[in-house]
Amino acid sequence: MQTMPIARTRKATRFRWLVVFLAFIAIITNYMDRANLSIALPYMNAELHLSSAESGLILGAFFWTYAAFQIPAGMLVDRIGAKTVFAAAVLWWSLFTMATSLARGAATLLGLRFLLGVGEAGAFPAATKLVERWFPPTERGFASGIYDCGARGGTLIALPICTAIITAYGWRTSFIATGAVGLLWVVAWLLVASEFPSQNRFVNVAEATHIAERTTVAAKRSATVKWGKLFTSRVVWAMSLGFACQGYVIYFFITWYPTYLVKARGFTLLQLGFYGILPGLAGLVGSWLGGWVSDRIAASNYGLNFARKGCIVVGMALSATIGLAGIVTQAWLALLLLSIAFFGVSVATSSILALPADMSAQGRRSVAGTVAGFQNCIANIAGIASPAVIGYLKDATGSFTPGLISASIVAIVGCLIYIFALGPIRSGVFEDLIKD
């Protein structure tokens, strides 16, 4: 039986923002743990005698299980809740991150990276469900932007922190340290989080009422999806393919970006470390600003549909400037255009991540976690394809320019999908996906 906490003040508490901040910290550890290997690999190669082929296979192994387990993770979130799945996911990936310190060869590393991807798949579906249950629609864009900033933040801080630990204590200690951070997070999460605001002792009546009056999402029973409806839903496929276009652009920054600055633009390692963080910083600002602007528009007379679509389309259009970065001759201008592109794609992402919650069934059970998992799965498959296509075009032409232009084209396609294929963004769109 759920109990409402006793109000001690007329003013509403704001505990929901601490909850989403904890999700932000979890996503930071998520990205630090996945980036740790790429930073440590040069040091590991000398000790474990890994070939280039083995190293490439190991680096890519994570993404296959990460994409494959998005839908099962989303299903679990809908069935047993975000609090439990989030805790289990962080515990899982933290333990396998720490276990990487015990690796003795390529086979061990490959298996550990596969298992890491399984655990990390639960992060974004759980965060989506969390936002659905803890935030009204006019706050979901900003809340989604907050936890999505963890992806940018984790990528930014992984390089200096992991490098410092490896230099001082060795690569094995680096995996133990970053994994331990995740274990501390699990303890904090279990102590303060709850599945619903009305169950939380830190949430007063005013805050719980503020959330409940505006969300009207009952979503308190486990939900089962109609798989046939899910896989044939035009709306779900439009969301997923649009997100795949976002993934194609953003995976350039995750994979080829440092190599591009060094090989194509002549950056030294010092310049890479100093100037190379600028697109990442722009992405941080884009995630926060995109979510905030989207929510402000949603709360106005323009409504939710215009707010989310407007920010997504404008953001994806800005990300299309990535192609111009390959054409201009000045390195500083290329870096500026890449920063604009990363800013734009991050603006779009805050609203994209809010869509499963925005369009979930109102007044009854919700499958927002499953839809988010499906969307993320398709996006990550495109993300796996992006570095391969850009790398192939680089080998075929001797230049990164065709690959960057391909990302621009994909970004424009994403705009068209959200404009013409998605349909109206409103609550209750996914009601027919729920099994009675």
Domain boundaries, the chain: 13-215, 218-436
| Amino acid at residue number 57 | L
- CA gap 295, 204 in Å, rounded: 24
- Same fold: 13-215 with 218-436: yes
Spatial neighbors of 42 by CB under 8 A, at least 6 apart, are: none
Q: Quote the tokens at residue 40.
A: 């440590």
Side-chain-side CA neighbours of 81 within 13 Å: the count stands at 11
pLDDT at 263: 84
* C-alpha of 406 from chain center: 22
| CATH, range 218-436 | 1.20.1250.20
322 φψ region: left (φ > 0), alpha (ψ -120 to 50), beta (else): alpha
pLDDT at 213: 65
- CA gap 200, 273 in Å, rounded: 43
13-215 folds as Growth Hormone; Chain: A; (1.20.1250)
pLDDT at 362: 56
pLDDT at 82: 92
Q: What are the average pLDDT values for consecutive 10-residue runs of the chain, which has 436 residues?
A: 47 91 94 82 81 76 89 91 95 95 90 93 93 90 91 80 86 93 96 91 88 59 77 94 94 81 81 80 92 94 94 97 94 94 95 90 72 91 83 88 95 96 89 78
Q: Quote the tokens at residue 120.
A: 């990390």
* C-alpha of 307 from chain center: 20
